[in-house]
Amino acid sequence: MFADKVLVHFNQIFSPIDLGRPLKGKEMSDATIIEDGFIAIKDGKILALGSGEPDASLVNAQTEIIDYTGKMASPGLIDCHTHLVYGGSRENEFSKKLNGVSYLDILREGGGILSTVRATQAASFDTMYDKTKNLLDKMLVHGVTTVEAKSGYGLNWETEKRQMDVVKKLDEMEPIDLVSTFMGAHAIPAEFKENPEGFIDIIIEEMLPKVKEENLAEFCDIFCETGVFNAHESRKLLLAAKEMGFKLKIHADEIDSIGGVDVAAEVGAVSAEHLMAATDEGIKKMADANVIGNLLPGTTFSLMVNTYAPAKKMLDAGMAITLSTDSNPGSCPTANIQFMMQLGCFEMGLTPIQVFNAVTINAAYSIDRGDTIGSFKEGKRADIAIFDAANIDYPLYFFATNLVKDVYKDGQLVVK
Ligand code: NIG
Ligand code: FE
């Protein structure tokens, strides 16, 4: 079969080993690095990968050959944890934080997530669509081809639905693919302050069935944290969601360790997110239950707390880990996944290969897309991030600068 396009003469291609499941522990230190590599594309999918000149059997007169001498290629980056769709912004909290007021204190005073909830409830579909599209455009130029997006700034059905409708339409209209997560249990609405479980019951009885019926989200997530939802409420919601056919995620051990990790292991969550405060015991439970640890170092950076998730301990325990932005207006306002990858190296001690595996193959499995993206396996979508770098070390070492040159989505050049 002849290729539509062959991208040739990459100095290096980073090609994750694809075992048909997330890479765990030591497996994350391995990858195939192809020197003088080529990638052949047919009908938007990967046709072949190799070194040197592409085989004559791949090329005919119609095949477009594009030269990438000196560059490095990786599968399109996958940002597998974001809170993308919202109204307003929260730079007004920045000075408070710089003066030592904590994230949870701001939330306790009715600010934080609750202030974004008020702005989101007031924002129209079009306003949020344009705002989120702008953010997606910025992510795409950083090499991101797939994004997970959570609701959770509505806390009432009408607004939660509007957020998820925005995700659905952006997925249809924009080159980036979006995977939708329903996170109605992101904060406790003021009227349920004394009765958080009452709000969980409303989510279970009234919201989840509609999310399912209208096919608005694949995953269900909850914020298990001091002053938000406890382990009992988290378990109750996630078990009900599982029963209705949702795949599960949980924000656990972000600031305090209050049992969210145990819930993740018990209910069979695909991933536990944040894990800055993860304990040795929790790490063992997640490793045993095959829960992927989704680590968000930009949040540690932005909260200025200096407690990075213990990534190396997780790998030593045999866990699979991913990295993502957590992009949101409060605890991590950013569109730059490359900076998260750099924090993975500089602050968590991960190697470039571990980091690239985290944001490609493992991120794909964490959003249930491991069969179609995340590696250069033949037949997978031709989503490719091309770096202005000669090898995979360089874009991690040369920090805080966007080094992505070109991006292909489904074989089409979408960033140049
Ligand atoms: O992942 N933890 C809860 N949610 C977000 C923060 C959202 C916000 O502050 O607006 C997070 O950190
Ligand atoms: Fe989050």
Ligand 1 contact, 152 CB (< 6 A): no
Ion ligand 2 neighbours (CB, 5 A) are 326
Q: Are residues 264 and 134 in the same domain?
A: yes
Q: Are residues 46 and 168 in the same domain?
A: no
Ligand 1 contact, 271 CB (< 6 A): no
The protein residue with its alpha carbon nearest to ligand 1, atom 8, reads: 330
Residue 396 is part of which domain span? 5-75+383-415
Ligand 1 contact, 87 CB (< 6 A): no
Q: Are residues 130 and 277 in the same domain?
A: yes
Q: Are residues 86 and 70 in the same domain?
A: no
Indicate whether 372 belongs to any domain: no
Residues 6+ apart with CB under 8 A from 92: none
Instruction: Please give the distance, rounded to the nearest whole angstrom, from the Cα atom of residue 300 to the centre of ligand 2.
Output: 12
Residue to mutate, 86, 153, 223, ligand 1, most ligand atoms under 8 Å from C-beta: 223
Report which bound ligand comes closest to the CA of 86: 1
Query: What is the number of domains present in the chain?
Result: 2
Indicate whether 68 belongs to any domain: yes
Report which bound ligand comes closest to the CA of 329: 1
Q: What is the pTM of this model?
A: 0.98
Please tell me the predicted confidence (pLDDT) of residue 338: 98
186 belongs to an annotated ligand binding site: yes
Q: Whole-angstrom Cα distance, residue 83 to residue 98?
A: 23
Report which bound ligand comes closest to the CA of 187: 1
The protein residue with its alpha carbon nearest to ligand 1, atom 1, reads: 326
Q: Are residues 228 and 282 in the same domain?
A: yes
Ligand 1 contact, 148 CB (< 6 A): no
Q: Are residues 296 and 165 in the same domain?
A: yes
Q: Are residues 85 and 53 in the same domain?
A: no
Ligand 1 contact, 223 CB (< 6 A): yes
Q: What is the CATH number of the domain that holds 37?
A: 2.30.40.10
Report which bound ligand comes closest to the CA of 103: 1
Please tell me the predicted confidence (pLDDT) of residue 306: 87
Please tell me the predicted confidence (pLDDT) of residue 131: 98
232 belongs to an annotated ligand binding site: no
370 belongs to an annotated ligand binding site: no
- pLDDT averaged over consecutive 10-residue blocks of the chain (416 residues)? 97 98 98 98 98 96 98 98 97 94 90 94 98 98 98 97 98 98 96 96 98 98 96 98 98 95 98 97 98 98 94 98 98 97 98 98 98 98 98 97 98 97
Nearest atom within ligand 1 for CA of residue 90:
10
Q: What is the CATH number of the domain that holds 358?
A: 3.20.20.140
Nearest atom within ligand 1 for CA of residue 113:
10
